[in-house]
Amino acid sequence: MLKIGVPSKGRLMEKTFDWFGARGVAMGKAGDDREYSGRVEGVPGCELVLLSAGEIPRELAAGRIHLGVTGTDLIREKLADWPTQVAEVAPLGFGFADLIIAVPVTWIDVDTLDDLDAVAAQFRARHGQRLRIATKYHRLVRDFLREAGVAEYQLVDSQGATEGTVRNLTAEAVADITSSGETLRANHLKVLSDSVVLRSQAELFAARAAPWGKAERAALAALCARLGVAVPVV
């Protein structure tokens, strides 16, 4: 049975159902809202598994699901050397968001990563500690800042509302996902002009480690034909 992992609630689930449905593959929950399995109609041999978007990269990497819908950002943050673990099947055209770095609007002369690097050095000299950047995306942000030559900072973990950490004095800057920028502006933050770490959207991925038997490969081929996408090499 080909197992397809889909976000279990909210707009991501609804839009995923709509995307598949528009291509002749109907999806839905099996019973009440507390159930985490569902139905797939239009292609035989497929099973729906409802998971949180954050769980899907892990389940793909472990091979417990064959296909999964989740954000580009989550795949690249949670899976080291992600192309060896999953194959991209199709971008879905929704769930758009950018991973960016933002600083207080009161930092009038700080507009670029070079400016941030200079401020971080000044902060270290003045306070004897590194400038704190709050984020949930340690791998992506660390790699991005290293390539940009930014030093004298430390990443601090944010499990709640990242945008509020500066106001709460637990960080001096943030690196977070944003779509409209409204929450950043509400917290008196501005995006650095050259700080887009990653442009993310919802995508369909295939697990390389999943058990790809004859039945699963036949279901995958039929599903891809119905969706109008190329069969991934897994």
- Residue pLDDT, tens place only, 22-71: 999 999 987 665 556 789 999 999 999 999 989 999 999 999 999 999 99
Q: Higher pLDDT residue, 190 or 33?
A: 190
Angle formed by the axes of helices 138-148 and 113-127, to 10°?
Answer: 100
The secondary structure of 186-202 as a DSSP string is HTTEEE-TT---EEE-E
d(CA 18, CA 29): 13
Q: What is the pLDDT of residue 234?
A: 95
Q: What is the pLDDT of residue 90?
A: 98
**Average pLDDT over the chain, rounded to an integer:** 95
Q: Is the CB of residue 164 less than 8 Å from the CB of residue 187? A: yes
Specify the CATH class of 2-96+201-227 in words. alpha beta
Q: Which CATH number fits domain 97-199: 1.10.10.10, 3.40.50.300, 3.40.190.10, 3.30.460.80?
A: 3.40.190.10
Q: What is the pLDDT of residue 196?
A: 97
- Contacts (Cβ under 8 Å, ≥6 apart) of 44: 219, 222
Strand partners, 38: 29, 48
144-164 pLDDT, tens digit per residue, is: 999 999 999 999 998 778 989
Helix (H, G, I), strand (E, B) or coil at 112: coil
Q: Find, among 233, 204, 224, the residue nearest to 57 by Cα.
A: 204
b/e 22-50 (16+ beta carbons within 10 angstroms → b)? eeebebebeeeeeeeebebebbeebbbbb
Asked whether residue 9 carries a pLDDT value surpassing 90, the answer given is: no
Q: What is the pLDDT of residue 153?
A: 97
d(CA 63, CA 45): 17
Domain coordinates of the chain in residue numbers?
2-96+201-227, 97-199
Rounded mean pLDDT, 89-94 = 98
Rounded mean pLDDT, 129-134 = 97
Q: Is the CB of residue 40 less than 8 Å from the CB of residue 47? A: yes
- Contacts (Cβ under 8 Å, ≥6 apart) of 165: 134, 156, 158, 171, 174
Asked whether residue 199 carries a pLDDT value surpassing 80, the answer given is: yes
111-129 pLDDT, tens digit per residue, is: 999 999 999 999 999 999 9
Q: What is the pLDDT of residue 32?
A: 60
Q: What is the pLDDT of residue 34?
A: 55
Look-up: residue for tokens 């036949």? Answer: 218
Strand partners, 104: 189
